[in-house]
Amino acid sequence: MNTPLCTTDGAALEDSARRLLDPGPFGYVAGGAGSGATVRANREAFDRWRIVPRMLRGAHVRDLGVTLFGERLPAPVLLAPIGVQSIVHPDGELASARAAARHGLPFVISTMSSYPLEQVAEAADGPRWFQLYWPDDPEVCLSLLDRARRSGCTTLVVTLDNWTFGWRTRDLDNDYSPAAQGIGAATAFSDPVFRDRLGRPPEDDLPAAIALWKAMFTGVDREWHDIAFLRRNWPGPLVLKGILHPDDAREAVDAGVDGIVVSNHGGRQVDGAIAALDALPDIKSAVGDRITVLFDSGVRTGADLVKALCLGADAVMIGRPYLYGLAHGGEAGVGEVLTNLLTELDLTVQLSGGRQRSDLDLSLLKTNREVGFLLA
């Protein structure tokens, strides 16, 4: 471990990662789209809510476990799919997956991992899900789904908000692109159908392999009726990631998926997009309990986890904070970030009078505006 990790908040953790990493990788992880308005909005949205703790509720005994798609989890927390993790630590996804497994939390393996899917899955000796960047070649897609299933991934998360990268100003200014170096291509390059399409081993002509990889995985967008292809070809739970509009959430229900992730990709795609937390209540009202509602974007503390759960998320994904932990100390660093978040979650729930997930609802929250009204 490099230095003790900051426990104060996500900003301190980010600052300490800035000191450890080169500007290119740090900017890639921390940066957002355009002016950074949505990265900021994600944080501001959390700051607009206040928890109103309740007393004398016997909260000394707690169980925050939840069942997601038939899987029992110790807490309503997952590790978000994050690709190219080797840019912050050589062990990359292997270390993060091991830390997740030690906490019994699901690790969502990105299509763009720095290590092949099978290797990450083996390291994630606990619950593991697969995140799909949907290639335009259906045979490659089927091959990825098959590999994910064989590797023990139970749930498929299909990311809909990144058919192409947002306008990422920091990366442009730093002239930094992991993809241009082929970082994140390990799963594609080890795919038999991809290799067949390329016609030779990727190592023999890296530029050609990278060009085919980029062409296959970017620039395609699909339509709602295309979800049927994944529904037909994925035997387990299917989750759509990147939903921000209640009508899209209703479409997801109609498409027969099992869940959605309310997310703006951590503010990395559309500058000026609505904060994911601001989108959550309307989406929850739109879908009710018909599908599972997951959430990410902007979560930095245990109190943030409580707020997202109170606003309707069935479980919450951690993004950048665990990557900062990885930068600090590999598996141990990720483990420490998770321990800190889970401990603060548990303490916040206890001190707020909660005993279980179902105690966390809107009755525990007020907006700043309401608080101001009460004070007036």
Ligand X SMILES: O=C(O)C(=O)c1ccccc1
* Pairing between β-strand 66-68 and β-strand 71-73 as defined by DSSP bridges: antiparallel
What SS3 class is residue 351? helix
Per the DSSP assignment, residues forming a β-bridge with 321 are none
Cα separation, 367 vs 46, in Å, equals 10
> Does 241 contact ligand X by CB under 6 A?
no
| Least distance CB 269 / ligand X (angstroms) | 8
| Least distance CB 183 / ligand X (angstroms) | 8
Q: Which does 263 bind (CB under 5 to 8 A by kind): ligand FMN, ligand X, none?
A: ligand FMN
| Least distance CB 178 / ligand X (angstroms) | 6
Nearer to ligand FMN, 96 or 263 (CB): 263
| Least distance CB 25 / ligand X (angstroms) | 12
Nearer to ligand FMN, 81 or 202 (CB): 81
Nearer to ligand FMN, 135 or 359 (CB): 135
Number of amino acids touching ligand X (CB under 6 A) = 8
Q: b or e along 265-274 (b: 16 or more beta carbons within 10 Å of the residue's beta carbon)? A: bbbbbbbebb
| Least distance CB 101 / ligand FMN (angstroms) | 18
Query: Is the four-CA dihedral 366, 309, 249, 132 of positive or negative sign?
Result: positive
| Least distance CB 268 / ligand X (angstroms) | 5
Q: Which does 339 bind (CB under 5 to 8 A by kind): ligand FMN, ligand X, none?
A: none
Cα separation, 57 vs 44, in Å, equals 30
Q: Which does 179 bind (CB under 5 to 8 A by kind): ligand X, ligand FMN, none?
A: ligand X
Q: Which does 59 bind (CB under 5 to 8 A by kind): ligand X, ligand FMN, none?
A: none
Cα separation, 214 vs 198, in Å, equals 12
Q: What is the DSSP string of 285-350?
A: HHHTTSSEEEE-SS--SHHHHHHHHHTT-SEEEE-HHHHHHHHHHHHHHHHHHHHHHHHHHHHHHH
Interface positions with ligand FMN (CB under 6 A): 28-29, 42, 80-83, 110, 112, 131, 159, 241, 263, 265-266, 296-299, 319-320
40 touches 10 (CB < 8 A): no
Those residues whose C-beta lies under 8 Å from the C-beta of residue 207, and which sit 6 or more positions away, are: none
Per-residue contact track with ligand X, 82 to 121, x per CB under 6 A? -xx---------------------------x---------
Site for ligand X in 267-306 (CB under 6 A): 268
Q: Which does 241 bind (CB under 5 to 8 A by kind): ligand X, ligand FMN, none?
A: ligand FMN
Which tokens go with 266?
């951590």
Nearer to ligand FMN, 110 or 155 (CB): 110
Those residues whose C-beta lies under 8 Å from the C-beta of residue 97, and which sit 6 or more positions away, are: 107, 109, 120, 121, 123, 124, 128
Which of 12, 18, 104, 162 touches ligand X by CB under 6 A? 162
> Does 184 contact ligand X by CB under 6 A?
yes
> Does 179 contact ligand X by CB under 6 A?
yes
Nearer to ligand X, 87 or 291 (CB): 87
Cα separation, 93 vs 120, in Å, equals 6
| Least distance CB 218 / ligand X (angstroms) | 8
Catalytic positions:
265
Q: Which does 296 bind (CB under 5 to 8 A by kind): ligand X, ligand FMN, none?
A: ligand FMN
Write down the H helix ranges in the chain. Answer: 10-20, 23-30, 37-47, 92-103, 117-123, 138-150, 169-174, 186-189, 192-198, 206-217, 227-233, 246-254, 276-287, 302-310, 320-351, 368-375
Applying CB under 6 A, which residues contact ligand X? 83-84, 112, 162, 179, 184, 265, 268
